Chain A
Amino acid sequence: MTNYAYYSVTELAPLIESGEVSPVELTQQFLDRIKEKNDTLNAFITVLEDEALENAKKAEEDIKNGNYKGPLHGIPIGIKDDFETKGVRSTSGTPLFDDYIPEQSSPVATKLTEDSGAIMLGKLNLHSLGPGSAGFNPTYGHTRNPWNTDHIIGGSSSGSAATLAAGLAPLVTGSDMWGSLRVPAAMAGVYGFKPTNGLTSSTGKIPTSETLDSTGAMARSVKDLAIAFNSAAGYDPDDHKSLDVEIPDYTDDLDKGIKGLTIGIPSYYREGLDSEVENLFDESVEKLKNLGAEIKDIEIPELNTAKFAGLTTALSEAGANYLNSLRSEPETHAQDVRALLMTGSILTGTQYIRAQKARRSLTNAFNKAFDDVDVILGPTIPMKTPAFEEDWAMQALDVVEKVLPLTVPANMTGVPALSVPMGLDSDGLPAGMQFFGKHLSEKQLLQVAKAWETTEPINYDDVKI
């Protein structure tokens, strides 16, 4: 059988529809690969071998009988373990939920699997409980980077990113509170998409920070992301943040290109970059110019408030959510997460309100910037993807302090942001940059990313594992 490890959904779907590829054989191939690689990577917390094969058989029969549901039918995928899944343990990467088996699946998981026919291979590892950007998990194992297993993969959607980079599935879900989809996407050399807050349901997403949490997806192909959002986006009456808006077909006009678009680069996003990241970013900007975009340097001084406002908002909300467990069983939380939650529990009401005022100010500043530019661009992470350090808990905080200021503005303002690969550094580790769009401009952001994809910024043949 052909090795389909790095095939995209877009490539696999017609093969499955025509019967050339069997969903059962495809699922078995990915399960075998997971068995081979997961002990090293710690990408999956739970592998659903029997359930996946059973669902693949059903998909195969349905397709044979003429009941093809669309491009996700029969496609093996991974679901991040902070998405509740009916009858399947959903830990959110913490011993606090080690034996939590939900009675219902989150709407996003349901839409992708039950409604669209994708096959859930298992539940993906994450930085414990979510408030971390490194992918550390002392309970289920720190997730390792397939490009070089001595290096971190980023978080919190660490297992999602490692799964894609190692060819363990073509599509995964993730969530994003202060960069949790985009940071690991950058470190893994894949595409990670946090939509407009409320475009996808957060019901059944084990909460970290309700007003910042978004659900989304990662893939190795932009069209695969468009396919995923065609399925996952949409109104959920049970989610008070959910947007009741019309969902377009994100695959339509995907090849529109970026000729004539104006891309703004805030000076904030050029500060404090590692020299190699800076060089890769400058080269990428030149390539965008060659694709026909106009590049404009812009100023959004309010971005300087993002670190305070983002940390204060996230930690206050998370600290309140998990106060009872901090009191009664603090040892169930990972060392770094415990201290972050404790911090949240003693931040003052005044600080929280000031953070919300800064959030409003930043949102207004973004809206104003979008009067002059179509898209905003900046690096996703300012440093090279680091190697594991001995004191992982302190390293976790170092990583948050460096990446959060670049990623949390999208969560604070609610705008969509899509991280794309921008090549490899001198150590052979990926770097990434992110496009921000106006609220509900997902279609345009996917078009921009698709144009960028034509520059072939990454080659998975270089993955070491």
Chain B
Amino acid sequence: MEYDKDFLKKQLALQKINATDEDIAYVQRVLGIIQRGEELLEDFPEIEEEDVILAVDKEELAND
């Protein structure tokens, strides 16, 4: 399902961002790409069990 342009405009307005119609169309397309990618997570239910580490853990890299 495609993101609604009016919804996107309101979301951006909530962030205090004035977007043009051209911006909105572009954002809609980018979100579509992300959404299609996100749907693939359904094939990997185990991902939901992963720890959240907000970056690659540098200690782990150093000891790898």
Contacts and interface: CB of A to CB of B under 8 A. Distances in A.
Interface of A: 196-198, 210-211, 241-245, 301-302, 304-305, 307-309, 311-312, 315, 323, 326-327, 330, 335-336, 338-340, 342-343, 345-347, 351, 353-354, 356-361, 363-364, 367, 393-394, 397, 401, 413-414, 438-440
A401 B30 CA distance: 9
B40 interface: yes
B17 A326 contact: yes
A328 B50 CA distance: 38
A397 B47 contact: no
B1 interface: no
7 contacts: A211-B56, A241-B55, A308-B38, A340-B30, A342-B19, A360-B52, A363-B56
Interface in B23-59: 23, 26-27, 29-31, 33-34, 37-38, 40-41, 43-44, 46-48, 50-56, 58
A344 B53 CA distance: 19
Contacts of A364: 50
Given A245-B62, A358-B41, 15 more contacts: A197-B58, A304-B40, A305-B37, A305-B40, A307-B33, A308-B37, A311-B34, A315-B34, A340-B30, A342-B17, A345-B15, A346-B8, A346-B11, A351-B38, A354-B38
Contacts of B40: 304-305, 308
Interface of B: 8, 11-12, 15-19, 22-23, 26-27, 29-31, 33-34, 37-38, 40-41, 43-44, 46-48, 50-56, 58, 61-62, 64
A346 B16 CA distance: 11
Contact of B61 (A307, A336, A345, A440): A440
Given A211-B55, A336-B26, A304 B43 contact: yes
Contacts of B44: 301-302, 304-305, 358, 361
Contacts of B47: 305, 354, 357-358, 361
Contact of A393 (B15, B19, B26, B58): B26
B14 to A, nearest CB: 8
A416 to B, nearest CB: 10
Contact of B26 (A301, A302, A397): A397
B2 to A, nearest CB: 14
B37 A397 contact: no
B18 to A, nearest CB: 7
Nearest to A339: B26
Contacts of A307: 33, 37
B12 to A, nearest CB: 6
A357 B50 contact: yes
A43 B39 CA distance: 39
A338 B18 CA distance: 11
Contacts of B38: 308, 312, 351, 354
A20 B16 CA distance: 62
Q: What 8 A-B pairs come out closest when comparing CB atoms? A: A308-B37, A339-B26, A414-B56, A211-B55, A357-B50, A439-B64, A307-B37, A360-B50
Contact of A312 (B34, B51, B53): B34
A31 to B, nearest CB: 39
A196 B18 CA distance: 38
A233 B40 CA distance: 37
A343 to B, nearest CB: 4
B41 A308 contact: yes
Contact of B56 (A197, A347, A438): A197
Given A304-B43, A305-B40, A356-B53, A243 B30 contact: no
B53 A327 contact: no
Nearest to B31: A343
